[in-house]
Amino acid sequence: MSFFTRTAPQPTDTADTATPGALIALNNLEKSYAHGTSRTWVLRRIALEIREGEFVSIMGPSGAGKSTLLHIIGMHDSDWTGEYYFGGHAVHRLSPKDRAKLHKQYIGFVFQSYHLLDHLTVYENLEVPLSYRDVKKSERDSIVCDVLDRFSIVGKKDLYPSQLSGGQQQLVAVARAVIANPKIVLADEPTGNLHSSQGREIMELFKKLNDAGTTIVQVTHSEANAAFGSRVIQLKDGWMAD
């Protein structure tokens, strides 16, 4: 499966020192919450590299910090310390505006609860990421039609999320995540609300996307889902386990 390519505007930061070949590099990344004079740690001294084209699964018990780490990588969470490089850009030094620009240009996100916009049709939901990139209306139409066809959801284009099954909603959510050809797709328990057959369909779709070159990082409790990837990162109590 292939999607269109586009030269995206570059954020205004200056590329900094990061490991050559690493799409993502985290150094001594930590997150905590203050409670009066005490502090609760969510992530501790995370050092992690993810190369372009990898399919990585983040696993661990509930409360291990898996989703928190994913949302930091996805630049939804900016309340952390340490160093984070994305494609050579020093994210920890970026302004909120430039972080948002980097996220919109290069990252697709798939949530457990789909997060489709209920008041928009399938077609309109797919248009949303393209509107962030100032894609012309005529080009948006062409791209959306292509993705509807590739994901075999042409017949659903005028339906609203409430008219779709859970599996169909997640299929649309994945299509929305990849429609703008991101460098990386982040998935937070993407099959958690699905039946096993629907979940397998979504995981097989991720595998096809990865085989075509898309970097994927998923949070999962499922050993079967993790087996679709190439590497597993274990978290426990906020620490990376050996």
The mean pLDDT value for 76-103 works out to 94
52-74+105-240 maps to CATH 3.40.50.300: yes
Q: Which amino acid is at 23?
A: L
- Whether residue 4 is predicted with pLDDT greater than 50 in this model: the reply is no
The mean pLDDT value for 92-99 works out to 94
Residue 18 in tokens = 């990061």
Output b/e per residue, 64-93; b: 16+ Cβ within 10 A. Answer: bbbbbbbbbbbbeeeebebbbbbbbbbbbe
**Contact between residue 226 and residue 66 where contact means Cβ atoms under 8 Å apart:** no
The mean pLDDT value for 193-215 works out to 91
Please state the domain extents for the chain. 52-74+105-240
pLDDT for residue 137: 85
Q: How many CB atoms within 10 Å of residue 239?
A: 16
Strand order through the sheet with 239-240: 107-110, 184-188, 215-219, 55-59, 231-236, 239-240
Phi first, then psi, for residue 67 (nearest 5°) are -65, -35
- Whether residue 3 is predicted with pLDDT greater than 60 in this model: the reply is no
CA atoms within 13 A on the CB side of 16: 16
pTM of this structure = 0.86
pLDDT of 25-39, one tens digit each? 999 999 999 888 888
Q: How far apart are CA 129 and CA 135, in angstroms?
A: 9
Four-CA torsion 11, 180, 215, 156, nearest 10 degrees:
150
Phi first, then psi, for residue 216 (nearest 5°) are -130, 135
pLDDT for residue 51: 95
- Whether residue 228 is predicted with pLDDT greater than 70 in this model: the reply is yes
pLDDT for residue 9: 39
